[in-house]
Amino acid sequence: MDLGSGFLKARDLVGDFWTGVMTGGQKTRGFRSRD
């Protein structure tokens, strides 16, 4: 059942990437409005 672990790994990668995107967007927005 490598498909299951592969799916979990992909989901973790996507989750980390999405979190980074959301965090980056919030940081950029906060930095801009603070400026």
Token representation of residue 12: 């973790």
Angstrom distance (rounded) from CA 18 to CA 33: 22
pLDDT tens over the chain, length 35 residues: 578 899 999 999 998 888 888 877 666 555 555 54
Q: Measure Cα distances from 27 to 1, 2, 15 in Å.
A: 39, 37, 18
Global confidence as pTM: 0.47
pLDDT of residue 12: 92
